[in-house]
Amino acid sequence: MAHAASRTSAATRPAGIALRHLLVADAAVSGACGVLMAAAAEPLAGLLGLPAALLLPAGIVLLPWSLLLLWLARRPVPSAGWVRAVIAANLVWALDCALVLAAGWFRPTGLGVAFVLLQIVAVLAFAGLQHRGLRRQSPA
């Protein structure tokens, strides 16, 4: 019985490490984007055609988010429940970004559209990779 438990632990360790690396990468990208949007909301507003009143709070939200991701990444094996919550939050962020473009509330510049589309692609990629990492971490 102890042998089977150590085998399961050894089998999940590499997947847990990969998942932790994904969480760190997500934290780094989210943190960098948050700092950029929070610190430069006014200049970005002109370049992107998106209001500073949207960019500033979005950037501020990303700062504790990136800290949460780092906290989760420091766990030896990230909690499946927390990772599922991260995946869900990433999907909500991507949907919100799509809504920013589709709703017609703003008139983003070409650079603004690219900025929002890049967030959608990056966040969906992280969500997909995190889902895959979670499935590998928790063998059936």
Q: How far apart, in whole angstroms, are the C-alpha atoms of residue 67 and residue 23?
A: 10
Tens of each residue's pLDDT in the chain, 140 residues = 444 444 444 444 566 688 999 999 999 999 999 999 999 999 999 999 999 999 999 999 999 999 999 999 999 888 999 999 999 999 999 999 999 999 999 999 999 999 999 999 999 999 999 999 989 876 65
Q: Tell me how far apart the alpha carbons of residues 123 and 103 are, in angstroms, rounded to a whole number.
A: 20
Q: What is the sign of the dihedral through the CA atoms of 38, 75, 92 and 113?
A: positive
Q: What is the pLDDT of residue 7?
A: 43
Return the domain boundaries, the chain.
2-137
pLDDT for residue 31? 98
Q: Could you tell me if 22 and 128 are in contact, meaning their C-beta atoms sit under 8 angstroms apart?
A: no
Global model pTM greater than 0.75: yes
